[in-house]
Every structure is written in structure tokens, then in C-alpha cells.
Chain A
Amino acid sequence: MASTLNPTEPQARKLDTAKVRQARNTGVILILLSVLVAYVFAFGTSGDATFRLSRPNDPWAVPNLVVPAMAFSYIAAAVLAFLGARQFVRGGVRWTGLSMGFGLLLAVAAFLVWATAGKSFSLTGMLQATVVRAVPIALGGLAGVLSERVAVVNIAIEGMLLAGAFTGALVGSLLGGYVGLIAAVAVGGLFGFILAALVITYRVDQIIAGVVLNLFVLGVTSYVSSQVYQEHRFLNDAPVFRPVDIPFLSDIPVIGPMLFQQNIFVYGAFIMVCIATYYLFHTRSGLRARAVGEHPQAADTLGINVYRTRYINVTVAGMVAGFGGAWFTLGSVGRFDEGMTHGLGYIGLAAMIVGRWHPFGALMAALVFGFADSMQQKLALLQTPIPSEFLAMSPYIATIILVAGLIGRARAPAADGQAYIKE
């Protein structure tokens, strides 16, 4: 009566799987990149691109990196074409992500070489700026990780950064940098607490609450800076935290200037990422926080206080964002300007998604955005044929590409964005 059917293996048949489709799309994109590199970057380019790796007063001089522009671009185009064809024809399912990553890297390198052809350019300087510019994004992303891990979507990071920047400048001008920094952290924490109260206790929609906070902070700070600071300039003249060299490590070529000749915001960001990782994945409180973000009802049945856990994490996230906000003023220019965060809070959220809700992931993604940002700045100086307005778009374009490419694969905490209603 019963019978067994179908002993065929699934691999033996040709299936229209999502992975094969994705591999094919990757192939097409790589081939298009190859065409771009060959026609725009290689064709008609001449001269060498010189990348300076060390600066005049570095303890060890490293020779410059000299790349023949046309040859490099043609080789890059060939490699891209090969990778693309391989993805397209063979449906190289296993290497899709890697090929895409490597392909993008090559295309960016070819672009840099093309822009630098016949000129010289400090690569170390650009990498150092990359790390600096990644700081607010990484801290914004980290704040996002901390609150979304307990399932509170934190659009308000932008506003928290802005509030931190403003407070840092104001208090810093009056009472000095360290007090300013502490005040910025406290104000960030206050906004985190307000957000928590709105979405947890009053169950305001999380996106709406975030947008309201952002608009509030933008309104207040813009008003004060345009009305009050005009007259009382001493209120907007804060000290700036200077870079501190770490002994020995700062002497390493390239890496030294990048990582060990920075100010406390950079070191602070790295330390916070490490602490957050330890907290989330190696402590009891972290396990409970993640449980609250994944399945609050399960956490509740086990006697974990869902509301308190959310309050604490969202408040701490606000403090992290407040610290990141102080970077704009105390860590950079010492002065507050209207809307000076320029949406970096939102890019921080993108970094969180690309980094898959992991502190280190968010940091890595932030470095990519920081790279795009510092590259556009340096290139503006090199006078490429690309209008500077377009160059200024590059961090945002990088955001769109990365988020669009990765978003399907990253998995948010299961309860993300949902209020928990206890009976």
C-alpha cells in the first residue's frame, strides 16, 4: 500500500534558485563595472598615479606607491570581466559575495588611480581621515545596535547626535571640554530616556516618536544657533580634543597614523565597540537584552522585566549617540553649526544594518562610509573632471549600494519595532 517515490537529489536538477539568480545579477553588475573601468578609467588615461604612504616627519620613511594608470585600469577591467563572466555563466553560487566585494574594491581602486593619474596623493592621509570620519557613523550605528537589540527602532539617533554636538559646544565653551563631553553624554541619555518613555510606556509608534525627537532637536538647536550665537559668540567657542599619540604603536607606518594618532573620540569609539560586544554576547544582561529583542513574551514568562530592559538599553544607546554627537564639535571644529550632523545618524543606522546588528559589523560598515566620505574630500582637492557636488554624494551612494545589496540577507531582531503589551 505505501510506496516510496522520488529518490532524485535536488542538486541534480537545474533549479531556478534565489542564489543562482543573485549570482547572475552579480555577474551582470561586474561586467558593467568592467566596461566602466575600461572605457572611462583606462581609455585615454596616461601617466603614473603616485600614492604617498608616509609623511615628511614620520620616523620611518616608506617609499611611495607608484601605479601606471592605464595598465592598472585595463588589468582591473579584465579581472572584473573575468569574475563577471564566471558568475554569469557558471552561477558560481559559492563565491557570489566574495566576487562582488572584490569587484567593488577593484572598481574603487581603478577610480582612485584614474583620478590620481599624473599627480600624487597621500593615501595615509586619506586612511587617517577615513577613521576620523567613521567615528560619528560608528557611534550612531552602535547606538542603533544597542536599542534595536531590545527591539526599539531608533530613528532618533540623528537628533541625539545633533543634541550631543550642540550640548558639547555650549557646555564646552563655558566649562571646558571634559565637562562639555559629560554634558553631551548626559543629554544623549536624556533623549534616549524620552524615546524609551514614548515608545515603551506610551506606545507611540517608534518611527513617529523618532521623527518627532529629530525635528524637536533640529528646531531648538537651529533657533539657538541662529538667534543667540550671533550675538554671544563666546557661547559657541569650545576647545577641541587634540590627537594623542600612543607610544610606539603610533610610529608604525600607515597603521600608526590611522589608528594610533587620533583623539579620544576615535579611541572611545573602539573601546565602546569592544565593551558592547562583550556586553551583548558574553554577559547575562546581554543575553537577556537580546532575548527581549527576539521574543519579549518568552523573556517575560521567564521573569525578565521587558520594559526595564528596554528602558536601560535605549537610554544607554542615547548616551553613546550623545558621545558621538560631541565629536562634531569637541572632536572636530569646536563650534556648532545648524544641522551639522547632515544625516550621519541615518547613515549610522545603515551601518547597523550592513553590520548585521553587531557592534563590530557596524564599525566595519562605518569605516566603509568613512572611506567614501574622506575619498570625496581628497578628490575634490585633486580636481577631477567630476563635479564636486557629485563627489559629495558618494557616502550616500555607498549607503544605498550596501544596504540594497545586503538588506535581504541581514536579519533584524525578530521583535524589532514592535511594542510589547503585557496583559
Chain B
Amino acid sequence: MEVELRNITKRFGEVVANDGINLTIRGGEVLGLLGENGAGKSTLMNVLSGLYSADDGEILIDGKLVDFQGPGDSIAAGIGMVHQHFMLIPVFTVAENVILGVEPTGKVDYLDLKKARTQVREINEKYGLEVDPDELIENLPVGIQQRVEIIKVLFRSANVIIFDEPTAVLTPQEVIEFFEIVKTLRDAGKAIVFITHKLHEILDISDRIRVLRRGKIVGEGDPITITKTELAEMMVGRPVSFDVVKEPFAPGKVLLDIEDLTVLRENDDVAVDGIDLKIRSGEVVGVAGVQGNGQSALIEALTGLTRVAGGTVRFMDKDITRASTRARHRMGFAHIPEDRHRMGMITKFTIAENMVLDTYYDARFSKRRVMNWPKVYENSARVAADYDVRMTSVHDTAGHLSGGNQQKMVVARELSRETKFLIAAQPTRGLDVGSIEYIHSRIINARDTGDGVLFVSSEIDEIMALSDRIVVMFEGRIVAEFDATTETPDKNTIGLAMAGAVA
């Protein structure tokens, strides 16, 4: 089977997400599609899977022109897509999710779940996937959820399988298992499209590489001969340095002292399970771990956004276990939240308004509850310039900024004050390489000027680049700790700890 995309163009308003793209996908081969966030990879594949209709261009399958009116047509043509954000229904079982849309039925529209289970088991066996058809999706770890997505695609007898950033949510061990599955599928003759912005992965698994930048194919490479540096330059459009420059490690006093901290989720499940951790000034502590192992709850507890169920938190020898968020903020806490749209900013507010979300009550910006707007504008403009937020004016709606600039705005607001302690959660998720470099430098700058930094990321490379000390969280506990000042810890050992495999 061979799929050919010819001259595909797709616009969203002013944005040209895909600009005359030509691409061929072949059976028995893994095509690696590399590109930064926003390059247009997902858009291109959504066109192929029938979810978007292209503004221009055509799709040919085995030389014949096809016209997809919707996802149904694309599925029928043998194209299956595993989306970046899984398209699974959490309260349905595995079997229900798999059959949705192509359900086996009996009389009076009766849903034949028994048959569905048998069919799921058959696919399981054929490709060695091992998923229980009766388990609810919400009870499954992400790695298994991804297998459900794969089963879904196979159940529809797809010959082309598109994986959109499949490894973003996986542990290093799960990535290895996932690559094994991909190889099995390829050897069974399926055409695989593997989308990512991670260089080493694309080199590991692809048979052919295409690089996408700003909606255009800008290069290609043979995975055997091409180097990471060459690929990175193609992807970003300029030479990139992977190193972070920092001052020698010179820790001060203990700033934050966490003792036996326990935090519960809404349903009373234990999210953080008796953690002990000390963070000194001038030190970056990186919390590694797969999403959902209690990192978010830990951060919410430290910033005062959630109730602490047990244990104490002391900041500069003061008990702040139950202190309000504003009290912590005034003590010098800065917080770069993990989801900037949900917690870091108000997308419909202007940049100036967003910049004073935490200080509007300050005497500088308001007197007797009346805002001093000129002062706010002036200050915001200055801070935005300091932190390289690219905008036309501070009156721009924050939501219209690019992801990188939104994050810089959040960082600017949080760090432009007198701070002592920085909490950063996934601070570079979904950003372009330029913004990532910039935000890393700001975090390191905070450390070099004596702040304590607690920083959570699910990217091991980022953790290793920034941290002086690395702790690994698994199922709400700290399962391993590594000192990164003297020697570089072994990436595989960290990866194993993230998967819970600690002796």
C-alpha cells in the first residue's frame, strides 16, 4: 500500500499550517516526521485522517485519487491515527472503546460485547499486546491506554498507522516497549508514520525522515548517516546549542523543608505519600517522574492550592503548611504552573492585566481599590521587554500570543518580583526550541542569584540539564535521589526509577 500526499495546503484563518506539502507513505516502512511544536505535523495528519479538509492538494492511495468527507472515509480507506491527545472515553471499557463506531450487533441494535471481547483478545494475541478488554480506561496507565489506541486502529484493519507524538506521555521503558510494537507492526507490512520533535527517537526507529518547519517540508535524511545536530538545525532553522550554562554549585541555607507530606486527590486516593525533601537556596532540585505520579499534587500543596492531609512544610523556619497562597506569594514564592492556560494566565485578558494578576493589590498599582492603570501599563511594558515577550503592545490579548511568548509572559510576571523560591512545573512543555532555551536560562538565573528552585518535568533530558539534585517520584513517593553536581547520573537508572523499578 502506498499513500501519496500532493501539494497539501491547510490554513486556519491567517495561519498557514500546511503549505504545499508533498509526502509519500509506504507499507513495511516507518516514516519519521520531525518538527517543532506548531510546525504543522498534526494538521497534516488530521488532513490525512479526514478530520480536517485541506484547502488545496490531493491524496492518492495506490495511485488512485481519494476524497475524504470525514474520518469515516479515511478509516474505510485503511488509515488509522493514534492522536496526540488520546481519543479514548475514560468511563468506557477497553472493549467499548475499541468497537465504538464499528460495533458488532445482534437483533434490535443489541450491542454484542461478548463478541467484542473475543475480537479484542484475538488482536491482543496476534500482536502481543496484552490488554484486558473489560478494564475501564480511566484505571489504566497511559502506556496501556496507548495500546488500546493501537488495538482500535488494528480493529479497523488499518494499513497505515499514524502516531502523533506517541512518546510524549511514556516512560523511557514504555518507549522501548512501544518501539517493539511499532517494529512488529512494520514487519507485518503496515505503513507507519511516526511524529515527534525528539531527535534521538526519530533516529532510533525511522526508516526514512522528513523534517517539517513552518508548514513546509524543509529537509530529509537517512537515519543511518544523519546526525542529531544536523537534524536539529533543519528543524529549528538555525544552529542550536544543547548545553545550559550555569555558575558553579554554591548552595546556601535550607529554604524549604518538607516533612512527611501527604496530599490526597479529590476521591481520597493518596497522591503524595509521605514525602521528605529539603531544598536549599541556590539549588535546583529536579523532580523526575511520569505524569500522574503525584508531582502536580505536590506542587499544588506547596503553592497552597490544595489542602494538605498530613505532614508539615516549613519555609525559612516558618510553618507554612496551611498558609494561604497569597501569604506564600508574599514570602517570595514564584510559581510557573504546569498548564499555563488553566492556571498561569487569563487568555482573554490583555498582557498588562495578566502581568499584575499577582500584584494588583500592591500600592504601586492601586490605591483604595482603584487601579492605577497608567502605572500598570508602564510597568508591564518594561517587564515584557526585559523578558523578551514579543508583542505589538501590552494591550494585546494574551491568548493571541504564541505559546512561547505566553510562557515568557508568565515567567516575567513571576520572576520580575523579589523572589526567594521558584516552583516550576513542566515550564517548557509544548514550546519551541528558542523559548525553551530562554526559559531555561531564566530558571538558572534565578538559581544563580540565590533562589531555591523546585522544578518538575517529565523530560529526562531537561531534568538532567538543569538540576543540581534529581529526585524521582513514583506513585506519590520519592523512590530515588541522585546528586548531579559531581557526576552526571545515568539516564537509564533514572528511567528505571521513573518506572518504579527500584531495588
Q: Which residue of A lies closest to B43 (CB)?
A: A423
A299 to B92, CA, bound (A): 12
Contact A1 B489 (CB under 8 A): yes
**In this assembly, does A251 line the interface, its C-beta being within 8 Å of a C-beta of chain B?**
no
How many chain A residues touch B (CB < 8 A): the figure is 37
A298 to B51, CA, bound (A): 11
Whole-angstrom distance between the Cβ of A410 and the nearest chain B Cβ: 13
Residue-wise, chain A 289-303 has the 8 Å CB interface mask toward B (1 for contact) of 011001101111111
**In this assembly, does A386 line the interface, its C-beta being within 8 Å of a C-beta of chain B?**
no
**In this assembly, does B29 line the interface, its C-beta being within 8 Å of a C-beta of chain A?**
no
Contact A18 B264 (CB under 8 A): yes
Residue-wise, chain B 466-496 has the 8 Å CB interface mask toward A (1 for contact) of 0000001000011111110000010001000
**In this assembly, does A227 line the interface, its C-beta being within 8 Å of a C-beta of chain B?**
no
**In this assembly, does A283 line the interface, its C-beta being within 8 Å of a C-beta of chain B?**
yes
Contact A288 B100 (CB under 8 A): yes
Which residues does chain B contribute within 8 Å of A89, judged by CB atoms?
A: none
Contact A13 B262 (CB under 8 A): yes
Which B73-109 residues have C-beta < 8 A from chain A? 75, 81, 83, 87-92, 96, 99-103, 105, 108-109
Q: List 7 A-B contacts (CB under 8 A).
A: A2-B472, A6-B274, A13-B262, A15-B264, A287-B111, A290-B89, A303-B75
A404 to B493, CA, bound (A): 49
Contact A2 B480 (CB under 8 A): yes
Contact B482 A300 (CB under 8 A): no
Partner of A284, one of B46, B103, B275: B103
Which A370-423 residues have C-beta < 8 A from chain B? 411, 414, 423
Contact A298 B482 (CB under 8 A): no
Whole-angstrom distance between the Cβ of A309 and the nearest chain B Cβ: 12
Q: Given contacts A4-B503, A286-B111, A291-B100, is CB(A297)–CB(B307) below 8 Å? A: no
Partner of A2, one of B52, B83, B481: B481
**In this assembly, does A57 line the interface, its C-beta being within 8 Å of a C-beta of chain B?**
no
A282 to B480, CA, bound (A): 48
A288 to B99, CA, bound (A): 10
Which residues does chain B contribute within 8 Å of A282, judged by CB atoms?
A: 110-111
Q: Which residue of A lies closest to B103 (CB)?
A: A284
Residue-wise, chain B 249-278 has the 8 Å CB interface mask toward A (1 for contact) of 000000000000010101110100111100
A156 to B71, CA, bound (A): 33
**In this assembly, does B502 line the interface, its C-beta being within 8 Å of a C-beta of chain A?**
yes
Q: Given contacts A13-B274, A282-B111, is CB(A302)–CB(B100) below 8 Å? A: yes
**In this assembly, does B310 line the interface, its C-beta being within 8 Å of a C-beta of chain A?**
yes
**In this assembly, does A5 line the interface, its C-beta being within 8 Å of a C-beta of chain B?**
yes
Contact B482 A287 (CB under 8 A): no
Contact B90 A303 (CB under 8 A): no
A414 to B137, CA, bound (A): 14
Contact A10 B262 (CB under 8 A): yes
Contact B100 A17 (CB under 8 A): no
A297 to B100, CA, bound (A): 13
Whole-angstrom distance between the Cβ of A195 and the nearest chain B Cβ: 25
Q: Which residue of A lies closest to B472 (CB)?
A: A2
Which residues does chain B contribute within 8 Å of A64, judged by CB atoms?
A: none
Contact A16 B307 (CB under 8 A): yes
Which residues does chain A contribute within 8 Å of B503, judged by CB atoms?
A: 2, 4
Contact A8 B109 (CB under 8 A): no
Which residues does chain A contribute within 8 Å of B99, judged by CB atoms?
A: 287
**In this assembly, does B70 line the interface, its C-beta being within 8 Å of a C-beta of chain A?**
yes
Contact A3 B480 (CB under 8 A): yes
A233 to B204, CA, bound (A): 84
A299 to B103, CA, bound (A): 13
**In this assembly, does B497 line the interface, its C-beta being within 8 Å of a C-beta of chain A?**
yes
Which A92-126 residues have C-beta < 8 A from chain B? none
Which residues does chain A contribute within 8 Å of B266, judged by CB atoms?
A: 18
A288 to B89, CA, bound (A): 11
A23 to B268, CA, bound (A): 13
Which residues does chain B contribute within 8 Å of A2, judged by CB atoms?
A: 472, 479-482, 493, 497, 502-503
A282 to B103, CA, bound (A): 12
Contact A303 B71 (CB under 8 A): yes
